[in-house]
């Protein structure tokens, strides 16, 4: 796919052009400062949710002793499969599920973010994506560079996340609405979030080894987990193909310095394309941030018909604050809507949690 894009979209860039004059940007936009600020804010939010959820679990494990904090529904953002299942239930029945409704609303918010702003969820919000970015930058700092896997290895590995995504889509796609409802009401379904927490609290040696290998690989190869293994990222990439906002290059202004391609974490040939369609583009705008030529590279909507490319882009370009604002509105707006309509919390009796939470590790997929 990317090779075809390179052939088709680079035709304009390969045509003979008049000598160009380098026009430096008067002032570089603070793309990475704004994006890192959003990442940090979302990371802190998830840290607070994790602490609150842990204290909530410990309250029930201790038989009601100690400090009681309400269960943070935001923890369901870490249950994308439950969110996908509940979304299908909503489509089939027209009813918002009673168990883990926040998982569905957060799933929709993240998908909508990718629909409007490429894979902005992965590069602006996802804590795993943020940690992965930190690891490969750490590796580049200490090793001087990151490894680039050869194409014959890279392409098959990239297919793994779509194979995993296809498996989940097949399993959930074959479930009826009644089957989804029944599953969610089993102890396993009710305590999916608790079991996720307990996985890390009582992690086994095999899981530690796997995570250590993934961390080491992420230090060497940019976004190893995200690029090769994350089915959630695979879904966001497919959705992002419909996004009207893309990285767009003005072939007339471009001086072919290659800085954008070198900066791209996904190793996309940004300097040869007119616009980036690839599912691997996360909208991190690293390429735009390093471009020093006025109007050469932008994160923008499709240009309007006009005589001069730069002038039409000036009315369609997204600024860092605008992207951050859209991300915030989509996320906070979805949460507010779910709260106002009464579909944010899983409202189970405290006595039920008192019975189930201490025994969470005893429940398997069948609910036994």
Instruction: Examine the pLDDT at 165 and tell me if it is beyond 50.
Output: yes
Mean pLDDT, range 225-245, rounded to an integer: 95
* Per-residue pLDDT, 278: 92
For residue 198, CA distances in Å to 194, 340, 354 come to 6, 31, 16
Give per-residue pLDDT as tens, 104-114. Answer: 999 999 999 99
Single pTM value for the model: 0.88
Helix, strand, coil % (nearest 5) of the chain? 60, 5, 35
Q: By percentage, how much of the chain surpasses pLDDT 90?
A: 76
Who has greater pLDDT, 9 or 233? 233
DSSP string, 90-140: HHHHSS--SSSHHHHHHHHHHHHHHHHBTBHIIIII-HHHHHHHHHHHHHH
Residue 15 — very low, low, confident or very high, per pLDDT cuts 50/70/90?
Answer: very low
Map residue 247 onto helix, strand or coil: strand
For residue 342, CA distances in Å to 97, 98, 101, 285, 347 come to 11, 10, 10, 37, 10
Q: By percentage, how much of the chain surpasses pLDDT 70?
A: 88
Instruction: Examine the pLDDT at 53 and tell me if it is beyond 70.
Output: yes
Give per-residue pLDDT as tens, 301-354. Answer: 987 765 454 444 455 889 999 999 999 999 999 999 999 999 999 989 999 999
Who has greater pLDDT, 308 or 164? 164
What gap in Å lies between CA 290 and CA 31, rounded to an integer? 10
Who has greater pLDDT, 144 or 308? 144
* Per-residue pLDDT, 102: 97
78-87, 139-148, 302-311: which range is least confident on average?
A: 302-311
Residue 360 — very low, low, confident or very high, per pLDDT cuts 50/70/90?
Answer: confident
CA dihedral 268, 301, 244, 279 (to 10 degrees): 10
* Per-residue pLDDT, 226: 94
* Per-residue pLDDT, 6: 43
Instruction: Examine the pLDDT at 18 and tell me if it is beyond 80.
Output: no
* Per-residue pLDDT, 306: 56
Residue 81 — very low, low, confident or very high, per pLDDT cuts 50/70/90?
Answer: very high
Map residue 248 onto helix, strand or coil: strand
Residue 12 — very low, low, confident or very high, per pLDDT cuts 50/70/90?
Answer: very low
Residue 4 — very low, low, confident or very high, per pLDDT cuts 50/70/90?
Answer: very low
- Average pLDDT of every residue of the chain: 88
Residues 6+ apart with CB under 8 A from 113: 120, 121, 124, 125, 326, 327, 330, 331
What gap in Å lies between CA 174 and CA 172, rounded to an integer? 5
Dihedral sign for Cα 238, 34, 104, 355, please: positive
* Per-residue pLDDT, 365: 63
For residue 286, CA distances in Å to 104, 117, 247, 358 come to 31, 15, 10, 46
Residue 24 — very low, low, confident or very high, per pLDDT cuts 50/70/90?
Answer: low
* Per-residue pLDDT, 5: 44
Give per-residue pLDDT as tens, 250-288. Answer: 888 888 888 999 999 999 999 998 888 999 999 999 999
* Per-residue pLDDT, 56: 96
* Per-residue pLDDT, 77: 95
Q: How many CA atoms lie within 13 A of 266 on its CB side?
A: 27
């Amino acid at each position: 796919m990317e090779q075809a894009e390179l052939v088709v979209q680079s035709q304009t860039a390969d045509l003979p052009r008049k000598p160009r004059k380098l026009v430096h940007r008067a002032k570089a936009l603070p793309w990475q400062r704004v994006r890192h600020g959003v990442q940090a804010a979302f990371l802190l939010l998830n840290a607070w949710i994790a602490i609150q959820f842990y204290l909530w679990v410990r309250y029930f494990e201790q038989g009601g002793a100690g400090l009681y904090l309400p269960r943070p529904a935001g923890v369901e953002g870490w249950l994308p499969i439950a969110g996908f299942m509940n979304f299908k239930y909503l489509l089939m029945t027209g009813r918002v599920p009673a168990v883990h409704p926040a998982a569905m609303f957060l799933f929709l918010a993240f998908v909508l973010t990718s629909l409007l702003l490429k894979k902005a969820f992965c590069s602006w919000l996802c804590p795993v994506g943020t940690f992965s970015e930190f690891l490969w930058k750490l590796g580049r700092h200490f090793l001087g560079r990151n490894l680039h896997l050869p194409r014959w290895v890279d392409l098959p590995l990239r297919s793994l996340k779509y194979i995993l995504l296809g498996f989940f889509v097949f399993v959930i796609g074959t479930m009826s609405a009644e089957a989804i409802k029944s599953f969610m009401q089993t102890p396993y379904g009710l305590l999916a979030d608790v079991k996720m927490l307990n996985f890390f609290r009582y992690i086994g040696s095999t899981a530690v080894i796997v995570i250590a290998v993934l961390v080491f690989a992420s230090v060497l190869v940019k976004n190893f987990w995200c690029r090769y293994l994350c089915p959630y990222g695979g879904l966001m990439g497919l959705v992002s193909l419909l996004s009207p906002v893309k990285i767009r290059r003005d072939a007339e202004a471009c001086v072919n310095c290659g800085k954008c391609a070198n900066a791209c974490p996904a190793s996309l040939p940004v300097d040869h394309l007119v616009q980036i369609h690839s599912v691997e583009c996360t909208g991190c705008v690293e390429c735009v941030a390093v471009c020093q030529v006025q109007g050469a590279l932008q994160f923008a909507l499709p240009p309007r018909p006009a005589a001069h490319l730069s002038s039409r882009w000036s009315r369609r370009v997204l600024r860092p604050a605008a992207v951050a604002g859209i991300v915030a509105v989509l996320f906070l707006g979805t949460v507010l809507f779910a709260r106002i309509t009464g579909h944010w919390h899983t409202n189970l009796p405290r006595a039920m949690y008192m019975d189930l939470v201490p025994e969470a590790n005893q429940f398997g997929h069948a609910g036994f």
